[in-house]
Amino acid sequence: MFFRQAGVYHTNYVADRALFPVAADRWIIAMILALGVAAPFLFSSLYLSSYLLPWLVWTAGALGLNLILGWAGQFHLGYAAIMGIGAYATVHANRFGVPWEFSIVIGGVSAAVIGSCFAFAALRVKGLYLALSTLALQFVMDWTISHVPAISGGTQATLQAPDIRVLGQPIVSDAGLYYVALVWCVLVTLFMLNLRRTALGRALVAVREKDFAAAVIGVNSFYFKLVAFSTSSFIGGVSGAILIGTFYHAVTPEQFSVDVSIQVLAMVIVISWGAARFGFSLSIEALAHLPQALYGALIISFLLVEPLGLGKIYKNVRDYLLVWPFGYVKK
Amino acid sequence: MDWALLAETGINGSLIGLMYSLVAMGIVLIYKSSSVPNLAQGSMTMLGAYIVLAYSSRFGAPIWLAIVLATLSMFGIGIAIERIALRRLAGRPIIMILMMTLGLEILLRAGSLTIWGATGRPMPIGISDDPLFLGALLINRAYAAGAAVAIVIFGLFALFFRTRMGVVLRAISDDYTAAWSVGISVERGVALSWAMASVVATVAGVLWASVQGVDQSLAHLLLKGVTVAVLGGMDSLGGALLAGLLLGIVEGIAGSYLDPLLGGASRDLVDAAMLIVTIMLRPHGLFGRHDIERI
Amino acid sequence: MMTETSPKPTKSAVLSLNNIEVVYDHVSLAIKGVSLEVPDGGMVALLGANGAGKSTSLKAISGLLVAERGEVRRGDIQFLDHNLRSLSPQRRVELGIAHVLEGRRVFEHLTPDENLIAASAIRSRHDMIRNKDKVYTYFPRLYERRFSAAGYLSGGEQQMLAIGRALMTQPKLLMLDEPSLGLAPFLVAEIFQIISQINREEGLSVLLVEQNAIAALEIVSHGYLIESGRIVMHDTAQALKSNPDIQEFYLGGAQAKNFHDIKHYRRRKRWLT
């Protein structure tokens, strides 16, 4: 049988703090990872470069957004703009002659710096108003990107991204680009998974639940909001850069418009906000390829049927199987 | 600066602004009754215009009849949206409600794209293109008509909220539970507010379509509507009207100064800036409700 | 003193609760087996400390639990000939149950006049005018202030408005949740006096929930005592007032002992463990 324990019974803290309290989780993740590594040998190159690769990058982006949305409990309707900043900064740095490895860091840092502006909005307002002000910031960024020729390279322009080189090795093959995206996605996933075990993660949860209560127990909520926004912007910026480097190969303002922000947000909702237990929720990034209408319908039906997303559905199934066939046993 | 030109820009801006407040009024109506910030109001506006076109071109109805029929249809659509999508989310965290309205926005926009395609179509409602001169000032007739309709609709709402039904709606917006305790059907009240917002959206859609044609860009009125609604205070209809006026004037004048400097399309920037500034300085807007505290 | 109340359904009871259980959010059990009866035209008090389950009982009767994700999981609520459990809050108001919420909860941005109009949503215009006259005769002070925003009324006036609003629905049973909350003693006396006047003149049954047991026991005929979600005592008002335990717990203690003794005494005397 797949799941064999009759519940989760920890006898020490180490077990409780384990990344995967249920052994089967670990095996599933390992299998998915193995599948991810073997993918170039299993799938056709078209499938690899036009489906799997963007899946991975968008997963990383969505996980980055989840740091703000799920962990810190703050709204962000301007995440695409952040990804765009990272992408543009990287491409410009790269064209200027900075090696690609460093230029993605430059992209991430500049995204983090500008993304922190959003944190200042979050300091003043919450809920609806934060959502609206981030939306407005998205419009401002959009406008700036497309109307400042120094950034966009002129109105309606498309900026070619140089081929990416890692350690001086040019990467042009589909498999190579795919592995770049895979490595980034795995790194982000590991970070998000471990967040649960860190002081940062606990502080963010405290801020999310009630920021003034967090302040009372000595958690500086402004500081942690700032950290959440800048970290998540860093992840978003690098994801944007990698998306351009490995998938689009050229950057235009439309790639990071407000619609994209909403799409990323929708991905987070469909995965399950809060629980980044399963970084590789493979099914969701198909969203990026669905017809728009279907995808609006998907958001609506998830909100109506299972507001906690796929992660919660997985957990329900797992918890059911854990004690199967003794369903009356509470986990 | 030429004073006549400035005045002309200001007046036309204020007329446009009043047309923005039509969109904002829909948002306010829904927010007032159920605290749901309806981010789908832009695409509802667009949908209203498309339905009018569908009635008039597909079934050959005269335009006034098409508008009446579309209004009725949108009344039903509004009730359906509330019943199917939002009622179950009552009392859930704001993020879910926001995402739901965003999901609706995407669904309506993409759905209408699938059905009607992306090409823009004119909406002839019989307003002539001839310029209207007010002294030396040139006024756009379509804007003037739109502004007049906005004021009339505001007046109708002001009257409506004095009637028994209107008082009941205001009671719902004050206190859900208390409304329940005296036998008011809160669900029906909220559904009614969605229906009314959809009707207003239709009117706004027709007027805006007569200015810029019917296409997907009608949904972009959302940003204007939201800015006006927040600036006026999310729960004040009168605020929405005045804020629309204000935004229109600022946008018109700032736009005419900034466009040459920034190379066009600075109006959206002005909107976004207004929205951010309002939220940062005065989140409850100009006329939003401070909760009454007894001294 | 009865530790287990099982009221036999008498013919004259307008409302009877039989062993009801309420859970919030599907998990937390707020009241566990409450039974009580309100005789037709009578006045009954439901007394108890904070969090004992008084308000929850009222909400179970008026159906407002829905708004707080609570539900009646077990037991029957009988009102006249109707079983209330499956009815919507609105339907229950139509049948004649009026619930005056804790903390007054008037429609703050409406005037008192509009408050009364809003509250007659389920009645005809003719009834509304008649009921409004009646409310204004009971509460002349509301008439004086009928056009100023209800949020600016004083606490006592707001309580009067809340009661008047409930009367607009033409109830047969008036349920009041802590009408004395935050009011000066003379106002409490005035409001209680009006409540018993309404009870006499309209033949309205009253279920009064109170922490202020002294004031409540003055006007009611029977009292129930609720603790941790259970009815622990039921008797006439007279008997309750003279019961030493009640005096000790709810009427402000008889003999002053030191704090340590009181704690011990309470622990010993707890009805339920």
Read off the pLDDT of each residue in A45-68 and give the average, rounded to a whole number: 84
| Chain B contact probe: residue of C109, C157, C159 with most B CBs at under 10 A | C109
Q: Which pLDDT score, from 0 to 100, does residue C197 have?
A: 92
Q: Which pLDDT score, from 0 to 100, does residue B196 have?
A: 95
Residue type, C239: A
Highest mean pLDDT among A28-37, A149-158, A285-294, C127-136: C127-136
Nearest Cα residue in chain C from B171: C107
Length of chain A: 331
- Asked if A136's CB is within 8 angstroms of B102's CB, the reply is no
Q: Cβ neighbours of residue A242 under 8 Å, at least 6 residues apart?
A: A57, A60, A104, A180, A181, A184
Percent of chain A with pLDDT over 90: 14
Q: Which residues pair with C236 in a beta bridge?
A: C222
Tokens 């003149």 -> residue? C201
- Asked if B291's CB is within 8 angstroms of C122's CB, the reply is no
The nearest CA of chain B is from the CA of C127 a distance in Å of: 13
Would you say C233 and C241 are in contact if contact means Cβ atoms under 8 Å apart? no
- Asked if B183's CB is within 8 angstroms of C93's CB, the reply is yes
Residues of B in contact with C179 (CB under 8 A): none
Residue-wise pLDDT for A170-227, tens only, equals 888 888 889 998 899 889 988 888 888 888 888 988 888 887 888 888 888 888 889 9
Residue-wise pLDDT for B139-173, tens only, equals 888 899 999 999 999 999 999 999 999 999 999 98
Within 13 Å, how many C-alpha atoms sit on residue B118's CB side?
1
- DSSP letters, B130-176, are S-EEETTEEE-HHHHHHHHHHHHHHHHHHHHTTSHHHHHHHHHHH-H
Nearest Cα residue in chain A from B220: A258
Tokens 């409490």 -> residue? C188
The neighbours of chain A, by the rule of 3 or more Cβ pairs under 8 Å, are B
Q: Which pLDDT score, from 0 to 100, does residue B1 have?
A: 57
Please choose, from the candidates B28, B72, B65, B24, the residue with its C-alpha nearest in 3D space to the C-alpha of residue B48: B72
- Asked if B276's CB is within 8 angstroms of A121's CB, the reply is yes
Put simply, whether A136 touches B (Cβ < 8 Å) is: yes
The DSSP secondary-structure symbol of B287 reads T
Would you say A83 and A65 are in contact if contact means Cβ atoms under 8 Å apart? no
H or E segment to which residue C24 belongs: strand C13-24
Residue that wins the pLDDT comparison between B176 and C249:
B176
Residue-wise pLDDT for B217-249, tens only, equals 888 899 899 999 999 988 889 999 999 999 999
Put simply, whether B235 touches A (Cβ < 8 Å) is: no
Sheet holding C82-83, edge to edge: C28-39, C13-24, C70-79, C82-83
Q: How far apart are CA B65 and CA B72, in angstroms?
A: 11
Q: Which pLDDT score, from 0 to 100, does residue A273 have?
A: 47
Token couple for B197: 């917002």
Residue that wins the pLDDT comparison between A282 and A130:
A130
Q: Which pLDDT score, from 0 to 100, does residue C8 have?
A: 47
A126 exposure class (CB count in 10 Å sphere: 0-12, 13-18, 19+): middle
The nearest CA of chain B is from the CA of C214 a distance in Å of: 27
| Chain A contact probe: residue of B96, B106, B231 with most A CBs at under 10 A | B106
Residues of C in contact with B291 (CB under 8 A): 108, 151
Put simply, whether B215 touches A (Cβ < 8 Å) is: no
- Asked if B184's CB is within 8 angstroms of C118's CB, the reply is yes
- Asked if A139's CB is within 8 angstroms of B271's CB, the reply is yes
Q: How far apart are CA C82 and CA C96, in angstroms?
A: 11
CATH class of C13-104+171-267: alpha beta
Low-confidence ranges of chain C (pLDDT < 50): 1-10, 254, 256, 272-273
Q: Which pLDDT score, from 0 to 100, does residue C71 have?
A: 87
Put simply, whether B87 touches A (Cβ < 8 Å) is: no
Residues of C in contact with B177 (CB under 8 A): 64, 67, 101, 105
Question: What are the structural domains, with CATH classification, of chain B?
Answer: 3-281 (1.10.3470)
Reduce the DSSP state of residue A196 to 3 states and report it: coil
Q: Where are the domains of chain C?
A: 13-104+171-267
Q: Which residues pair with A251 in a beta bridge?
A: A159
- DSSP letters, C209-237, are EES-HHHHHHH-SEEEEEETTEEEEEEEH
Tokens 């002349």 -> residue? C140
Backbone angles phi, psi at C70, to 5 degrees: -110, 160
Q: Look over chain B and give the mean of its residue pLDDT values, rounded to a whole number.
A: 87
Put simply, whether B179 touches C (Cβ < 8 Å) is: yes
The nearest CA of chain B is from the CA of C260 a distance in Å of: 41
Q: Cβ neighbours of residue C178 under 8 Å, at least 6 residues apart?
A: C55, C102, C103, C209, C210, C211, C212
Q: How far apart are CA C148 and CA C132, in angstroms?
A: 16
Put simply, whether B294 touches C (Cβ < 8 Å) is: yes
Put simply, whether B164 touches C (Cβ < 8 Å) is: yes
Residues of B in contact with C62 (CB under 8 A): 181
Residue type, A278: F
The neighbours of chain B, by the rule of 3 or more Cβ pairs under 8 Å, are A, C
Compute the C-alpha angle B157/B281/B171, nearest 5°: 30
Q: How far apart are CA A45 and CA A51, in angstroms?
A: 10
Alpha-helical regions (H) of A77-126 = 79-96, 100-124
Q: Which pLDDT score, from 0 to 100, does residue C131 have?
A: 94
* Closest CB from C114, C121, C151 relative to B294: C151
Residues of B in contact with C70 (CB under 8 A): none
Nearest Cα residue in chain A from B271: A136
Length of chain C: 273
Least confident segment among A11-15, A219-223, B74-78, C22-26: A11-15
* Closest CB from A127, A139, A307 relative to B272: A139
- Asked if A269's CB is within 8 angstroms of B223's CB, the reply is no
- Asked if B95's CB is within 8 angstroms of A137's CB, the reply is no
Q: How far apart are CA C191 and CA C195, in angstroms?
A: 6
Quote the pTM value.
0.85
Would you say B193 and B27 are in contact if contact means Cβ atoms under 8 Å apart? no
The DSSP secondary-structure symbol of A19 reads S
Put simply, whether B93 touches C (Cβ < 8 Å) is: no
Least confident segment among A16-20, B34-38, C42-46: A16-20
Q: Which pLDDT score, from 0 to 100, does residue C26 have?
A: 79
